[in-house]
Amino acid sequence: MKTVTLFGLLLALILNPGCKRSNLNEAKVRLKDGVVQGTVEEGVAVFRGIPFAAPPTGDLRWKAPQPVVPWEGVLEAVRFAPSPVQARAEWMGEIEMSEDCLYLNVWTPARSKGEKLPVMVWIYGGGFSNGSTAGTSGMNMAANGVILVSVAYRLGALGFMAHPELSAESPNSVSGNYGLLDQIAGLKWVQQNIEEFGGDPTRVTIFGESAGAISVSMLCASPLAKGLFSGAISQSGGSFSPVSDSRGMGEYMASLKGAEQQGITFAERMGAKGISELRTIPYDRWLDDPLSQMGGFWPNADGYVIAGDQYKLYSIGKYNDVNVIIGTNSDEGSMFVQPMEPEQYAGMIKGRFGPFADRALELYPGNDQTEVYHSLSDIFEATAFAWPSWTWARLQSETGSSRVYVYYFDQFRPEPFFPGGPVPRGAAHAMEIAYVFGTVGQNPGMQATEEEKALSDIMIRYWTNFAKTGDPNGGGLPEWPVYRNGEKTVMYLKGAEPVTTELPDADRLQFMEEYFKWLREWRKSEQ
């Protein structure tokens, strides 16, 4: 009887090739939902366009991501899926986009399922209104012994619009954070499937830049993401400003009620009487609407996906306490601001900073147009990137038990952002991405210097070391100490030999801390 059973099993395997185990040498993997076929490129198995959730279309527009419908046969995973629906931007050119966008990509150097390699999950930026996985290559990460996964998420109105009717539909009485729920669904997919690619689900590091870094910050504070990752890297982003329905520079996250009101306004502008009608309107109707542009729609503090004011949560140690790398670039703000006359600038400062205006003008002077432009860019940098990042590092180092590492990226070229545009004074926003992924110098006319190549190699090794052990150090790299408040513990990333330095602009960061503390209390008293 035992012999017959074994024979039957062997015969079934021969006659039913769908039962075969994953073969990473041939980039063929059996997932819980079906078989995917990728390609082998330079010894790395690459899978592009794997669905991790059902298409969020039709009745699923503005709903939490739903499970993938299993498929028969072999799914060809050889091309990037269309980008999520997003605002039109001249710098992007023509892109293929679709509401059917919930796909991810995998680069794995593993040759067998049992290798248990660390995993890095990339979350793109773009102000929650733009972005795509298509511009990311995991080849250099894979070459350093990790699996790279890039996850798409819904953007703009489709990803972050809240509305009272949508909240009423939800079993949790919330709406608007669909893009974050997409990210969480992608991380759950990793937990369920990454072993088939030779990955270790207990060693997952999430990392992102700008809105991707803000997303990482939110995931680190979200109870829905608990246990889905063991480390996090934030490149220029965090969510620690007070929740506000009236947005100021660096303040974008509204309350659920405020976000719902924005949704009502949006539906009215689209001529829709309600959500049922809005679900039937083609998305291209709103791509040029002001709310579809950068920063128009944003995650909201719904008390479910985002449990509350992150500053308060971190102050009491209520977050997912994992090892983190947190950092910013030296000129984050220049590309986001426009010139302004000194008189107009002084008025803006008084309106923005209230009783802190005089001190703000001391730290950010505006005696002529050039000085105004530089101060505006520095204020934007501080409020949107530097202060949230430093606050994250400071609070977690005080209330957490995991390791915190902080960097300051200052490698740049004195070339304008665009023809005739401003010249950066340091490393512009997003400039470090090419160094992290090893693609610096690949754009036409931008050949990398030997120094830039060396820095890129160092950063790739720091990032992948962190994914492997929770510590960026090792392999003869310059020692990167754990961040401690008040000490020279910031890694200064520039040139071929990074060094440890003091926290840059500490006086400005302390000013922003005092200002935001006052603003949080003032708004509380006004409610």
Task: Tell me the β-bridge partners of 405.
Answer: 325
Measure the CA–CA gap between 149 and 269, rounded to whole angstroms. 38
Nearest to 163 by CA among 295, 257, 92: 257
Which one of the listed residues 99, 195, 251, 332 is annotated catalytic?
Answer: 332
Which one of the listed residues 222, 429, 452, 456 is annotated catalytic?
Answer: 429
Q: Measured at the alpha carbon of residue 490, what is the angle toward residues 488 and 492, in degrees to the nearest 5? A: 115
Active site residue 239: no
Which one of the listed residues 137, 210, 236, 292 is annotated catalytic?
Answer: 210
Active site residue 429: yes
What type of residue sits at position 434? A
The secondary structure element, H or E, covering residue 492 is strand 490-493
Measure the CA–CA gap between 64 and 297, rounded to whole angstroms. 17
Nearest to 334 by CA among 252, 237, 416: 416
Measure the CA–CA gap between 434 and 461, rounded to whole angstroms. 14
Q: Reading across the β-sheet that carries 39-41, which strands appear in turn?
A: 39-41, 44-51, 103-108, 147-151, 117-123, 199-209, 231-235, 323-329, 404-409, 490-493, 499-501
Tokens at 438, concatenated? 């090893």
With beta carbons less than 8 A apart as the criterion, state whether 148 and 44 touch.
no
Strands (E), 111-154: 117-123, 147-151
Tokens at 86, concatenated? 């997003």
Nearest to 178 by CA among 156, 193, 195, 196: 156
Burial of 227 (0-12, 13-18, 19+ CB in 10 A): exposed
For residue 59, give Cα distances in angstroms to 65, 279, 424, 489: 12, 7, 46, 51
With beta carbons less than 8 A apart as the criterion, state whether 159 and 201 touch.
no
Measure the CA–CA gap between 248 and 244, rounded to whole angstroms. 8
**Mode of pairing for the β-strands spanning 44-51 and 74-76:** unpaired
DSSP 69: P
Active site residue 210: yes
Given the structure tokens 């520039």, which residue do they identify?
494
Torsion, Cα 104 110 112 117, to 10 degrees, reads -80
Catalytic residue list: 210, 332, 429
